[in-house]
Structure 1
Amino acid sequence: MLWAQVGERVRGQIGTNAFNSWMRPLRIAPLDGRRVVLLAPTGFMRDWIKTHYRQILLAEFRRDMPHIDDVVIEASLTADTPRRANSDTAAASSAAPAEQPAPAAARHAVAEARIADESASVVNTLDDKLTFDNFVVGKANELAYAAARRVAESDDVAFNPLFLYSGVGLGKTHLMQAIAWHIVSQRPDRKVMYLSAEKFMYHFIRAVRFKDTVAFKEQFRSVDVLMIDDLQFFSDKDSTQEEFFHTFNELVDRKHQVVISADRSPSDLDGMEERIRSRLGWGLVADIHPTDFELRVGILEQKAALNPHVEVPDDVIRFLAHRITSNVRELEGALKRIVAHHELMGRKISLELAQEVLTDLLRANARQITIDEIQKKVAEHFSIKVTEMSSSRRARAVARPRQVAMYLAKKLTTRSFPEIGRKFGNRDHTTVLHGVRRIEELIQDDPSLAEDVRLLEAALSN
């Protein structure tokens, strides 16, 4: 038969797996003049084949029938409509033409094809830099990291779901992709679906529009690992939430792993149904806290090491870690800007260059300088506790940083000596005056201390 002959040649071009997923379910209709009409089981398959394989099919049909002008892909069967369609799907469903439901075997075959395609395409959607090896661990993220590794490495379901949440740019997407990378590379037999909440919603609305929801359900409920990033986008999307709720329950009941991320904890997800918020808390909820100074230094050192041809001085790294505290993305972006300036303009990487290049970013991250902040920054820099600033200890390892903090408090704020003294354990103003003068003397003769003070002042100044 014509289709059998053409099909074999197409198989040779696209491979057996792709052929079985996309070509085998097709049926050829009676010839329509100068057109070949192929019937796909669903609208989803029709659109995919039209986009990816129509030109190949046209070329192969023309080898047997040179007079053919076009190959047309049409949907012959689709699945049932959902039980409800409200705010996020009503418009799509009302525009859909009436079609007949597909038989169960056809729906299952289509779902399997979609799952195979989604699983195969996971690698294409992942950033190869976002792996466990490239994730810097600190106190702020150690629980989330440990949980992510456990889920990725375990054959059994460790926590279901694993729910990761944090503010913007703190690493939750990095951990999500690291889990996916590990499973795809170490367990290629497992079906992994990783997508954003917006992509899940797009697939669902599309299924409603083309009356293809049964195949959609089979597709999403048949994976071994379902990973959805930025779940907060489901807020107030009622029918999408309903579909997610049933998908979630089905996967958890079958002990298939679910991993979710969001920008807030389950209990704080406004616009989300209470039953969903409750179920999201069933497994392990891991918060990724804002980075501390040591973690920011570690992240910058790792990023700088990725380019062995460029040397980033320690004082620049520590300056960035002091001044850019909002999120990791801004931190990494700042380093890239400095390195780019060095490579493109030929300028040496220095503290002065960093201050010049990052003027806008530093201004955006600048905060009003307070004595409390000065004490915290100085304590971080010299690796002592903030409480030591107000303690009675006179050991040099504590006394010298305390005097540096007093010096900076006098220089960078408008506080008087008595006011500064009260912030340092109710010390007398003469003690503060002595500390300030002592640092003024030492920075003339001690280059190391002078550099410490210069770096701290730069980090604290606007």
Structure 2
Amino acid sequence: MFSIPLDASQFVVRRSRRRDSGPPLNLREYIGGDENFLVQFAAECVVEGRAGYDPIVFFGQSATGKSLLANGLALLWKQHNAAAPMVAVAGAEFAREYGNAVQTDSMQDLRTKYRSTELLVIDDLDETAGKNGAQNELVVTLDALRKCGSHVLVTLKDSPTDSKALPAALASRLSSGLTVPLLPPGLAAGRAILKRLAVLNEVPIPDESIELLGKSLVSTGSSWPTVPQLNDAVLQLYQLSQHEQEPISLSLTARFLGLQNAACRPPLRSITKQVCRYFNLRSTELRGPTRQQRVVRARGVAMLLARQLTNKSLVQVGRHFGNRDHSTVLHACRKTQSLIQTDPAIRQAVEELTLQLSTL
């Protein structure tokens, strides 16, 4: 785990916000785990101006931190090199400047600007796709900067060798340095980001809920969430808490996740199996007629979990647990909810079983 402090509030590269980009994030740091171990080294190379690694290219899908790193590292570099010239632009802006220079016969001014800098940062170079003149000019510019020992930082959606937006000559120049993939956060980084986002959004989320959110959002499913998606999860969980007039807890978090993705809801047989294993009971005992206290309490836990983690009705839950009527299920759920407030053992059972069942 590592964190790179970045000031995301002062963008060096100015760009319009995409319509689908959601509310702005206040996360002013890049938090990474083992999946992004190269990012920390690359960041140090940029800020310290280490020779031998240029150009440095960050590439990855949308919302993996490319622009945050490009802007933040440019600012950090400038803080260490206040008197040194730096140019930081978006790919589309570079293409526009090139077009204007051609039209106004001011190419020499453009070349002086870009070839006399000690650090060149181009965010989202994919925006130059199809701009052959601008891309050819950038090839010559990169050669000139390499010759004088200047540093270059570029961001792309794909690696230079795989990008369809770049001509072969430009891809060759960019792939000659340090190419760093930016991956969505893994489990450890996801948990750390969720904790930080909860603090920034002033949403009180207990550690066990963070753990459940992390495991459910990060380690399961075919695609891992980006930081904006993790931020959305924090805000939506808070909204559910306000709607239910209930503080965020493990059970509320489990209900939230169930609402987010019905496919993650455990079947009743899985709930029965896990509860029996936890309380050391047989399925026939849990679903049978016995009124022994330890069985009744375990059955109440199972019924509550069935209501919280699935979309089954009271009638369906009652039918599964020995053809009991809906009023019996409702009473058992209310009794268990009351015990959660007074009995630490029941509270621990519900929390641990919720975590197990939500990450199956």
TM-score tier (shorter): 0.5 to 0.7
Match of 1:320 among 202, 213, 218: 213
Query: In the alignment, which of 149, 152, 157 is matched to residue 258 of structure 1?
Result: 152
Q: Whose RCO is larger (CA < 8 A, sep 6+)? A: 2
Give 1:248 deviation, angstroms: 1.4
Counterpart among 339, 351, 355 of residue 451 in structure 1: 351
In structure 2, what is the equivalent of residue 100 of structure 1?
none
Tell me which residue corresponds to 2:248.
Answer: 349
Query: Contact 2:206–2:248 (CA<8 Å) still a contact in 1?
Result: yes
CA distance in 1, matches of 2:27, 2:146: 27
For residues 302-327 of structure 1, what are the alpha-carbon distances to aligned partners after superposition, in whole Å with 9 as ceiling and x for unaligned?
A: 222335x5421223323332333321
Q: Which residue of the other structure, out of 135, 139, 143, is the alignment partner of 2:30?
A: 135
Q: Does the residue aligned with 2:169 lie in a helix, a strand or coil?
A: helix
Query: Runs of 4 or more off by more than 6 Å in structure 1?
Result: 340-346, 355-360, 433-436
Instruction: Supply the AA of the counterpart residue of 1:453.
Output: L
Distance 1:343 1:410, change over 3 A: closer
Q: Does 1:411 align with 2:250?
A: no
Q: Matches of 2:25 and 2:150 in 1, distance apart? A: 25
Answer whether contact 2:85 2:119 (CA < 8 A) is retained.
Answer: yes
Q: What is the SS of the residue equivalent to 1:201? A: helix
Aligned length: 276
Structure number with greater Rg is 1
Q: Say which of 331, 334, 341 aligns to 2:233.
A: 334
Query: Are positions 1:213 and 2:107 aligned together?
Result: yes
Q: Is the 8 A contact 2:12 2:89 kept in 1?
A: no
1-structure distance, mates of 2:103, 2:255: 53
For 1:331, what is the secondary structure of its paired residue?
A: helix
The code of the aligned residue for 2:248 comes to: I
- 2:27/2:200 contact within 8 Å kept: no
Q: CA 1:344 to 1:259, structure 2 compared with 1: closer, same or farther past 3 Å?
A: farther
Q: Pairwise CA RMSD of aligned residues?
A: 3.6
Amino acid at match of 1:348: P
CA 357–446 in structure 1, closer or farther in 2 if over 3 Å, else same: closer
C-alpha deviation, 1:408, in angstroms: 7.4
1:417-436 alignment, distance < 5 Å: none
Distance 1:144 1:453 in 2: 37
Q: 2: distance between equivalents of 1:181 and 1:343?
A: 39
Q: How far apart are 1:353 and its partner, in Å?
A: 5.6
Q: State the match for 1:249 in structure 2.
A: 143
Give the C-alpha shift of residue 184 in structure 1.
1.9
Mapped contact 1:151–1:157 kept (Cα < 8 A): no
Q: Is the 8 A contact 1:266 1:278 kept in 2?
A: yes
Residues 165 and 286 in structure 1, CA contact (< 8 A), matched pair in contact too:
yes
Displacement of 1:331 in angstroms is: 0.7
Paired residues of 1:130 and 1:175 also in contact (CA < 8 A):
no
CA shift in 2, pair 1:359/1:187, >3 Å? farther
Percent identity, aligned pairs only, is: 23
Q: CA deviation at 1:210?
A: 2.7
- Which AA in structure 2 matches 1:331? L
* TM-score, length basis structure 1: 0.52
Asked if 1:167 is matched to 2:61, the reply is yes
1:146 paired with 2:41, answer yes
Paired residue type of 2:211? R
Query: Structure 1: which 5+ runs fail to align?
Result: 1-120, 375-406, 413-432
CA contact (8 A) 2:59 2:159 kept: yes
